[in-house]
Amino acid sequence: MTAFALTARQLARRTELRTLAAERLRPLAEKGEPGRVNRPLVAELGRLGLLRGLFTAGALDLCLTREALAYACTEAETAFALQGLGAHPVHAYGTDAQRARWLPEVTAGEAVAAFALSEPGAGSDAAALTLRADRDGTGRWRLTGEKCWISNAPEADFCTVFARTTPGAGARGVTAFLVPADRPGLTGTPLDMLSPHPVGTLALDAVPVTADDVLGTPDRGFRVAMTTLGLFRPSVGAFAVGMAQAALDATVGHTSRRDAFGGKLKDLQTVAHQVAEMAVRTEAARLMVYAAAAAHDEGAPDAPDVPMRAAMAKLLATETAQYVVDAAVQLHGARALRRGHLLEHLYREVRAPRIYEGASEVQRGIIAKELYR
């Protein structure tokens, strides 16, 4: 079953994607500026046909792609995932006109998308968002407020923005809007983050939107957000697994070559056992990720065990990747801390997935809620 073992075709596809990432995408990533949108990299993802899969593939194939890209080029993986996160609401909830306007450019790598949910005072508690959508008396809304920690902001060409349309209604009073970047009153500022991918703030000062900009149904936008995160949550785990596998393979190679105490590092039992533990945890995380993705693809995303599996997968995989990368740094020694080393790069990349798209504590809350349901 694909939930527990990848088929020969899937394994071949993973190898192909790793090669593409190493040969075609990594050189472009290396030319990019940390913290900025790398448009040549996004365009190459489009030329390779990878972005099309964001809207045609299921969660399992999404995980396969993200794991393979993360193994060879984390920047390419992140650019790929952010296109999906920002544009999936348009694909799933947009009108024919919205889809026709934006999805061809997204899949071609010509338009960059952003998913604008988090706010300075509403991160993990997303239902507490306060960005206002006020009726202006002409059948339009004006969006006023701030979004923070938004990937691809402020450089995205359009944003899926979640705004409060009914005060005091919690999750039931949120509406999703498709907001092009050229709307008057929309500005933003990049943030200098530990991880190298683009993150910034958005400031909305009476930004005009109409019924034609609504994604889905007014006051039902929180479902748009949660459905999108539910699809991408297992694949965040796949991103983590790809990084863990890269760190593990680097460690196996290093400890096999490194002379120490009259032999190789791998001959020391404490080292060998540490590497074995890294391998076991990585494989366990991989199995849970693909099991969660397969459960999602079986067609019942609202079934009680599907969100719990997704939460378990993201939790285990991201915490595992942190452990594996940290252990790899320890076994490599000071060389792994040098700027430009693979593990120095992974060490900066691996921390954020434990926070974004639902922090580890949020995932534990989801799991507990389902257990006590």
Q: In this structure, are residues 286 and 241 in contact, taking their beta carbons and an 8 Å threshold?
A: yes
- Catalytic pick from 44, 67, 119, 357? 357
Could you give the CA distance from residue 209 to residue 142 in angstroms, rounded to a whole number?
Answer: 6
The closest of 33, 36, 38, 25 to 73, measured between CA atoms, is 25
Count Cβ atoms within 10 A of the Cβ of residue 232 and give its class: 0-12 exposed, 13-18 middle, 19 or more buried: buried
What is the C-alpha separation between 257 and 253, in angstroms, rounded?
6
Half-sphere exposure of 220 (CA within 13 A, CB side): 7
Catalytic: 357? yes
Q: Which residues are catalytic?
A: 357
